[in-house]
Structure 1
């Protein structure tokens, strides 16, 4: 999910649009969409891991 979110962001999709396209694939909330805040956290963690923050 994080890789897809990063690719959407690289293509210029705004974060609310990314949240609408993502679906949680496992766990208690399987099949639901993540919140916008969760998407921001996913992208921030990915940026820190890549060293681009």
Structure 2
């Protein structure tokens, strides 16, 4: 969902407000914009690493 919203040029705050944590201690709450940034950054790195290893 976060990737889809980022493609639509939503801000980190808007993305964080749209997401809901489904597990753990903070279940039912929204993640912080910093958490969303970290998740997207980790995804981008993993994607880049996967693309580099297939070349």
- Measured against the shorter chain, the TM-score band is 0.7 to 0.9
Normalising by structure 1, we get a TM-score of 0.85
Structure 2 unaligned regions, length at least 5:
50-55
Please name the residue that 1:43 is paired with: 40
Deviation above 2 Å: which 4+ runs of structure 1? Answer: none
Q: Which of the pair is proportionally richer in helix?
A: 2
Q: State the structure with more CA Rg.
A: 2
Structure 1: segments with no counterpart, 5+ residues: none
Q: TM-score, normalised on structure 2?
A: 0.82
Q: CA-to-partner distance for each residue in 1:4-53, whole Å, 9 max, x for gaps?
A: 1111101111111000000000111000000111000000001111118x
What is the aligned length? 49
Query: Per chain length, whose mean CA-contact separation is higher, i.e. which structure has more relative contact order (CA < 8 Å, sep 6+)?
Result: 1
Match of 2:30 in 1: 33
